[in-house]
Amino acid sequence: MLKLLKYALYDILKSRFAMIYTVFMILVAVSIYQVSDDLSKVSLSLMNIMIMIVPLISAVFATTHFYNNLEFIELMLAQPVKRSHVFLSQLFAVILMLSLSIMIGFGLPMLLWGADTSLITLLAVGVILSAVFAGFAFLASVLTRDKAKAIGISLGLWIYFSLVYDGFVLYLIYSFADYPLEKVTLGLVMLNPVDLGRILMLMQLDISALMGYTGAFFQKFFSSSMGLLIAGGTLALWTLLPNLFAMRVFKKRDF
C-alpha cells in the first residue's frame, strides 16, 4: 500500500495542482495579514474563505483525480493487490495533499505574523473539511461511471452543506422563534460538518455575545470537555463514514 500511496502522491505532484493550491493559500493569507494586525479579524476573514473555498476545491479535485487515474486503478485491480489498498492509497494521497497545502499555505504566514488558538483551530477545521469532502467526492465517483455526473453530485453536496442547509436552519429558527430552539439548533449544527466547523471557530473568537442566548448556550456547550468531545467525535464520524461507505462500494464495483 505504501508503494501505491507513493505513486499516487507523485502523480498529484506531477500535475502541479498541489503547488498552485498552496501558493493560492499563501497569497490569500498574506493579503489578509497585510490588511489587519488584529488576529481575531484575521481568523474571521480566513474562516470565511476556508469555509467556502476548501470544501469546493476538495470536492472538485478529488473527483477529477479519481477519474484521471481510473485506468491505473483498473490496472492495479487486475493485479494481486487488495482493493481496499488501491482505494485507500488514492484517497490518502488526495487528503494528504490537500491537508499539506492548507498547513503550508496558512501555516507559513502564521509563523511569520503570529497566530492564536483560533488560527490553530482554523487549520484543524480546514484539514477535517478537506477529508470530509474528499470522501464525498470519492463516494460520488464510485457510484457512477459518468465523470460529469460525479462532479455534479460533488458540487451538489458542496452547495447543500455550504449554502442550502444554512437557509433551512435560518427558516426553521425564524418560523419557531417563540420556542426554545437551542438544543434543536445544536443538533442541526451537528448534522452539517461545515456549520460545525464554523461554530467551533466562532466560539474561539469570543463573539458569542453577538449571537444572543443561542450563542451563550453554544459557548457553554463547546467550552466544556464533554461538548468538545461530542464535537470532535461528530467531526470524526463525518470524516470516516463517507470514506468507509465509498470504500465498501468500491470493493463491490465491477470495473
pLDDT in tens, 211-224: 554 556 666 777 77
Residue 190 has a pLDDT of 87
For residue 60, give the nearest of 17, 120, 104, 124 by alpha carbon. 17
For residue 197, give the nearest of 165, 231, 167 by alpha carbon. 231
Phi-psi category of 192—alpha, beta or left, where left has phi over 0 and alpha has psi -120 to 50? beta
Alpha carbon distance 28, 49 (integer Å): 9
Position 80 pLDDT exceeds 60: yes
> Predicted confidence band at 39 (pLDDT cuts at 50, 70, 90)?
confident
Alpha carbon distance 117, 120 (integer Å): 5
Phi-psi category of 179—alpha, beta or left, where left has phi over 0 and alpha has psi -120 to 50? beta
Residue 214 has a pLDDT of 54
Percent of the chain residues topping a pLDDT of 70: 92
**Cα torsion at 160, 162, 168, 170 (round to 10°)?**
180
8 Å CB contact between 67 and 147: yes
More confident residue, 42 or 64: 64
Output the nine-digit C-alpha cell for 56.
Answer: 469546493
8 Å CB contact between 54 and 95: no
Residue 38's φ and ψ, nearest 5 degrees, are: -80, 115
Q: What mean pLDDT is predicted for residues 176-185?
A: 74
Residue 213 has a pLDDT of 47
Residue 216 has a pLDDT of 61
